[in-house]
Amino acid sequence: MKNRSLSPHGKVTIVNRLEFVAYCNEFSSESEKAAVFDRYYNPDAVFEHPLKGSFKGKEAIVEFWTAGHKGIHEVLKPLNVLFDDDWIAAEFLIEWHCLENTYYLGPREKGRIYYAECAAFYHLKDGKFSRVKLYLMEKK
């Protein structure tokens, strides 16, 4: 973690594009989502999904990332990232790799990859995400 900023408590803080891309890569990997939450989110964070609703706190957000994405491996590919004090605005291409037939935002077939465009706004508190709001449009 040579290029990443650490808080006084040894937790990762997001202060530049490299750190944000590192977050995206870790989220997109097979890493344990609870560990990703602990490294990058405040305990009382709020995550707002335009179609699935709002989730508050570690338990609810991790549950959404795991059970709520059953059969889907989600990959975040950041295109544009802007920083302004304690805000980050990001544009992504999202890939949903289907590991099984599922119904995530519509019917999904095992072995296929589905794509979406996403804009997300992240509010930072003490260098960690305290609120995330997504805007999503599936690519046909």
For 38-106, the DSSP string reads HHHEEEEEEEEETTTEEEEHHHHHHHHHHGGGTTEEEEEEEEEEEEETTEEEEEEEEEEEESSSEESSS
pLDDT of residue 4: 41
Question: What's the whole-model pTM score?
Answer: 0.83
Coil vs helix vs strand at 135: strand
pLDDT of residue 96: 86
pLDDT of residue 12: 54
pLDDT of residue 139: 74
pLDDT of residue 8: 42
Range of the domain at 15: 5-139
List, run by run, the mean pLDDT of 10-residue segments along the chain (140 residues): 42 73 89 89 95 93 81 89 92 88 78 92 94 87
pLDDT of residue 7: 43
Q: What is the CATH number of the domain that holds 21?
A: 3.10.450.50
pLDDT of residue 2: 37
Overall number of domains in the chain: 1
Q: Which two tokens stand for residue 115?
A: 């794509």
